[in-house]
Amino acid sequence: MSDRTTTPTSDRSTAAPNGLTWSADEMRRLGHAVIDQIVARAEGLRSGAPWRGASRSELEPLLRESCPEEPLDADAVLERAAREILPRAGRIDHPRFFAFVPSCPTWASMLGDMLATGYNIFQGTWLESAGPSQIELVVLDWFREWLDMPEGAGGLFTSGGSAANLIAVVAAREASGHPERATVYMSEQSHSSVERACRIAGFRPQQLRRIACDDAYRLDLEALDKAVRRDRSDGFTPVLVAANAGATNTGVVDPLPELAAWARAQEIWLHIDAAYGGFAALSRRGRTALKGIGEADSVTLDPHKWLFQPYETGCLMVRDPATLESAFRVFPEYLQDTDLGFEHVNFADRGLQLTRSFRALKVWMALQMLGRRAHAEAIGGAIELGDRAEAWVRAHPDFEVLSPASLGIVCFRWNPERCAPRDEPELEAMNRRIQESVVDDGVAMMSSTRLQGRYSLRLCLMNHSTSWPDVQATLDALAERGERFGRALD
């Protein structure tokens, strides 16, 4: 293919003006204003609250309006977005945002995102995006090495972990020959997106199996083996087991090496949902915890979680990329020019999107500009914060650990030793109240979960800008409220 970047046929001055373009000066001026706005937000982030919500009834009168027929003043629109809309949201990258799964994209990665948008890359076929497709291959190969997957393994970037899980479910089903009575196995702790993926892929509820976990919330291999044997003798064909590394609730990693050996012997596709924990493999501690991950048939990763990338950046890695292409490739006449031979990967053939943005660029830019080591150290540091938080909880007589720190997540609750045993509804109400107070007072954003039916506070520590004083201040605030509200109960 030759390089056809020369021979301009028209210049900018002859382009017909229309209502959708701005002069280069105006583009620059407004572009700089947006950058200034974003940087100012980042500078003020730590001093503000990590969360701000609003009810529908507050927002309707403020924001409901008909679509303007004629243009409004661009600066005024920008100012309004910054004042009325954008601040009324969680600040997921705030150093004391510990709810759900935090995300703190680096500026280098955001610049990559802006560049990809600005260059309007169509990352569906090699013909339309040669350089970008090569970079997607390169970055995926870095991931392959980090996970210890065999040479030749590859995959694609996706909108997120949910899309990656869906692609894996379909690929596994197609690879198995799409049997009539297929079954899928997941643990009680599996992410909701795995079940949703199965639903989208056409599995009925009676084809899904939720496998019990042990006391440490790890998938119970014996229970899995039993379920598979029973299903086989009942005429079902098991096609996929989805394991966690780590689970969103607890950060717990399933017994991966044992599962891999078992799945290979059973000839069942092993999918590891590592959307939460996969990039922990960059750190020494995480690498140990994730041992065996590279033996999976497919692995879901979420660079917009622990690789500090902007939304939407997910990824699916598979042992054999041909399994994706045979599951997803459909070749219509109007794309006949795009077949340049298999080494020129058309990423549209590996998943569900034809039009795809150039997600690999932001990852590539962040790793080029900041280096792998800084990413690894930030992840290792977050894992250590989890350990320190667990130690704090263990040392405090008013709190108990419900699930020990694993990959930055610790689950615990207020349940003071000094009192008579309280019943579960009272404990739940108190823990809810303590949590709400800490959130409402702007100390930290936290969310809760439920473990073996018990209400649990949950800290998720993965933000590279969180430091121990942030965690300690949050724990101290929880203890202070426990003390204060508890006194009223005694």
Ligand X SMILES: *Cc1c(COP(=O)(O)O)cnc(C)c1O
Q: How far is the CB of 160 from ligand X (least distance, A)?
A: 3
Sign of CA dihedral 253, 257, 259, 263: positive
> Which x/- pattern, by CB under 6 A, does the window 112-151 give for ligand X?
----------------------------------------
Of 156, 169, 275, 282, the residue at the interface with ligand X (CB under 6 A) is 275
Do the beta carbons of residue 475 and residue 389 sit within 8 Å?
Answer: yes
> Which x/- pattern, by CB under 6 A, does the window 192-221 give for ligand X?
-x----------------------------
Angle (deg, nearest 10), helices 321-328 and 161-175: 80
Query: Does residue 482 bind ligand X (CB under 6 A)?
Result: no
Cβ-based nearer residue to ligand X, 248 or 463 = 248
- Where are the alpha helices (H) located in 312-359, listed in sequence order? 321-328
Q: By C-alpha distance, which of 187, 94, 114 is closest to 442?
A: 94
With CB under 6 A as the contact rule, which of the stretches 166-174, 220-228, 272-280, 356-364 interacts with ligand X? 272-280
Task: List strands edge to edge, sheet with 237-244.
Answer: 154-158, 314-318, 298-301, 269-274, 237-244, 182-187, 208-211
Query: Does residue 187 bind ligand X (CB under 6 A)?
Result: no
With CB under 6 A as the contact rule, which of the stretches 218-226, 268-276, 355-363, 419-427 interacts with ligand X? 268-276
Site for ligand X in 163-182 (CB under 6 A): 165
Of 254, 302, 349, 470, the residue at the interface with ligand X (CB under 6 A) is 302
Q: Residues in contact with ligand X, total (CB under 6 A)?
A: 13
Of 101, 135, 272, 383, the residue at the interface with ligand X (CB under 6 A) is 101
Three-point CA angle 246, 252, 258, nearest 5°: 85
Cβ-based nearer residue to ligand X, 317 or 479 = 317
3-class state of residue 155 by DSSP? strand
Query: Does residue 155 bind ligand X (CB under 6 A)?
Result: no
Query: Does residue 272 bind ligand X (CB under 6 A)?
Result: no
What is d(CA 174, CA 166) in angstroms, rounded to the nearest whole number? 12
Cβ-based nearer residue to ligand X, 276 or 412 = 276
Cβ-based nearer residue to ligand X, 409 or 479 = 409
- Token pair 């590394």: residue: 245
To which H or E segment does residue 274 belong? strand 269-274
To which H or E segment does residue 343 belong? none
Do the beta carbons of residue 444 and residue 474 sit within 8 Å?
Answer: yes
Of 112, 286, 303, 314, the residue at the interface with ligand X (CB under 6 A) is 314
Q: How far is the CB of 276 from ligand X (least distance, A)?
A: 4
Sign of CA dihedral 378, 289, 411, 397: negative
What is d(CA 131, CA 334) in angstroms, rounded to the nearest whole number? 23
Q: How far is the CB of 161 from ligand X (least distance, A)?
A: 2
Cβ-based nearer residue to ligand X, 116 or 275 = 275
Residues in contact with ligand X by CB under 6 A are: 101, 160-162, 165, 191, 193, 248, 273, 275-276, 302, 314
